[in-house]
Amino acid sequence: MNPEATPAPDTDENLWLEEIHAPEALAWAASESARTDEHFASPARTALTERLLTVLDDPERLALPSRRGAWIYNFWRDADHPRGLWRRATRASYLAGDPAWQVLLDVDGLGRAEGTAYSFGGAAHGPRGSGRALVRLSPDGGDAVIVREFDLDEAHFVTDASAFALPTAKQHTAWLDADTLLIASPLDGGALTASGYPRTARLWRRGEPLASAQTLIEADESDVGVFVGVDRTGREADIDTSGDPEVTAIVRVGHDFWRRSTWVAPWRAGAHTVELERLAVPDDAESSVHGGFVLVRPSTPWRLGPEASVAPVIHPAGTLLAGSLAALTGDAPEPHALTPIFTPSEHTVLETWAWTRTRLVLTLLDDVRTRLVALDPQADWAASDLDAGAACAADMLTAEIVSTDADEDDEVWVRVSGFLTPPTLIITDAASPAARVIDAQPAVFEASGLETTQHWAISADGTRVPYFQVGRPGATGAVLMNGYGGFEHALTPEYASIVGPAWLESGGIYVVTGIRGGGEFGPAWHRAALRENRHRAYEDFVAVARDLVARGVTTPEQIGCHGRSNGGLLVGNMLTQFPDDFGAIVCGVPLLDMQRYTHLSAGASWIAEYGDPDDPADWAFIQTFSPYHLIEPGRAYPPSLIYTATSDDRVGPVQARKMAARLRDRTDASVFYLEQTEGGHAGTIDNRAVAELHATIYAFLTEALGR
């Protein structure tokens, strides 16, 4: 943190840009976007757009599976279907390498028929045998969606009077049985929290008006929101899922982004009501229900035992514990009611987990490299490593579980990739590991002569910060850095399908950082950069930039950085706090005005991450990382490209607008601005929009860094 960067309060001259759809604000955004588009128009940008579009529309890319029994579901975009096809094929045809796809929903065709250019927001399948799903569709790519019931066997929407259907809102649902939903929606008797999320969970029966649905729980307006789910694997401690399992209804009330209360109840078809009981787990713990088990991962040390105990049981943050559902409802659990099944170390942390029929599969990070481990609950949680397959000695790989089906078997479908290794789909077995390759995506850029290495920078307080470097051995020159550093999200190696053709092939160097605030080393790594300690994330990132210079890889003038969302806040702070360390800034769908962020879109939900600027004690530290307030007239800043989407209903476009306007008005900095109409928080709505945006980003970087 720059100790001199403590701004005085000022008048916000750009409040008029906060009126998202006001004609004058839209006209400003359109004018600035047209200026940017015109400035970077060139045959080279057009050629890169078309090449990237070819990559994104490649018919040979992996069709990632979502398995459900004998069916493989997939959502697919290509040149002929830019908004996409929701489709399915039999598992047998998929494994044979020639899937016979049945198109369930042509999103482009639906948009033409209804006069709304929808984007697909996913589908929630009904109970086995129901043949139904709830399809979510966004009218502009934002988080708010319509929900419609879909008949999978007939491949069309259900249109009779009793069909489940909801107009546009931020909402979500979970099937209790074929005729009953758990629903969190602000519509027809529901309400919104200050963060803009549903405030109630209700029990909605087929044929019943939503306004008549029974309210099960209501959050406070100051809470983040209410979220619903179900577990269908029964409530017995034995995880055998044969027979007619009892469903567990799950309702979570998010008190802030990191604290929540979880409520559960048994449900059988035909029941009249739900009697919720609260899980006796810490508010800051992540928990999940599977049959008779509850898994709990606390974010801070969890002390179990009487307050007066001289020898309490204390489980470290990031430990994964298993207990019975019966023991964890009601009063606080006894220490012996929970079994630690994974304990983190200095180098190894738990990222996520998934169930198969008889095993629990953990995704671990070993110094930011993934490893899969299967645990057997019937053998005292005995652990065995899973074969991730697709080994490549020249690259560092990430193994991501893309699908399991706990009702069927112990198959684990895994996508493996690295910066230089195209995605490969493998199937392994959690009970008897033996990986086999199902499909592999062809390379989309020339990677020969490139390598991936891992390095460590030393931050201002002495902390070692990891980063990956991709490029030619011994290469020097222009560097593109990427970072995030928030919300316990870890950045791991991922195939450079855009960066490769646009940057690496022509000799650029690519760097991905694992700064504090992220999840690279578990909850402690995240919590180290919360609120008043936010500066540590920014010190970590600039430490990597300076380490690259110290190692002779590059110079400050040749370093560009790109961040999105919370990463946009990161690079906004690089622009305003460390302008001498960078030659170019690309800032996407960003938070930037940290004094107003809680009053814009879903900003109130992130107070636990950043602090509350309406509290003077919190504003005292928030103002030190609010880029909008750190702009100093007369100071030299590197060129910047700021992009967003009008339809972003999570962060919103107004912070990006205001930052660009203030930089333009108060400094001599070179500032470019892009605002897409559609796309929501993704910033783009289809593959062509993605290709055009990235072609502009790399045209900007080429000009700014003098490549």
Share of the chain above pLDDT 70, in %: 95
- Region of poorest pLDDT, from 197-201, 269-273, 487-491, 503-507: 269-273
User: Is 257 buried (19+), middle (13-18) or exposed (0-12) by CB count in 10 A?
Assistant: middle
Residues 6+ apart with CB under 8 A from 40: 672, 696, 699, 700, 703
The secondary element (H helix, E strand) that includes residue 62 is none
> What is the spatial distance between Cα 101 and Cα 93, in angstroms, rounded to a whole number?
9
> What is the spatial distance between Cα 628 and Cα 648, in angstroms, rounded to a whole number?
19
* Residue 675: per-residue pLDDT: 98
Q: Which of 356, 391, 350 shows the shortest CA–CA distance to 374? A: 356
Q: In CATH, which superfamily holds the domain spanning 15-54+444-704?
A: Alpha/Beta hydrolase fold, catalytic domain (3.40.50.1820)
* pLDDT band of 461, cuts 50, 70, 90: very high
* Residue 233: per-residue pLDDT: 85
Q: What residues does each domain of the chain span? A: 15-54+444-704, 345-443
* Residue 536: per-residue pLDDT: 98
Is the pLDDT reported for residue 7 higher than 80?
Answer: no
* Residue 395: per-residue pLDDT: 82
Is the pLDDT reported for residue 242 higher than 90?
Answer: no
Share of the chain above pLDDT 90, in %: 89
* Residue 348: per-residue pLDDT: 97
Q: Which of 472, 626, 483 shows the shortest CA–CA distance to 544? A: 483
pLDDT tens string 281-294 = 999 999 999 999 99
User: Helix 23-40 to helix 654-666 angle, to the nearest 10 degrees?
Assistant: 70
Catalytic residues: 565, 681
Q: Kind of pairing, strands 479-482 and 509-513?
A: parallel
> Which DSSP state fits 372?
E
| The residue type at 204 | W
For 18-45, what is the mean pLDDT? 98
> What is the spatial distance between Cα 340 and Cα 676, in angstroms, rounded to a whole number?
48
DSSP E strand stretches across 476-583: 479-482, 509-513, 559-564
* pLDDT band of 390, cuts 50, 70, 90: low
* Residue 457: per-residue pLDDT: 98
Residues 6+ apart with CB under 8 A from 621: 531, 532, 534, 611
For 85-98, what is the mean pLDDT? 96
* Residue 241: per-residue pLDDT: 39
* Residues 440 and 416: beta-carbon distance below 8 Å: no
CA angle, 304 then 308 then 313, to 5° = 25
For 345-361, what is the mean pLDDT? 96
> What is the spatial distance between Cα 589 and Cα 612, in angstroms, rounded to a whole number?
21
Give the three-state DSSP class for 182.
strand
For 76-96, what is the mean pLDDT? 96
pLDDT tens string 531-573 = 999 999 999 999 999 999 999 999 999 999 999 999 999 999 9
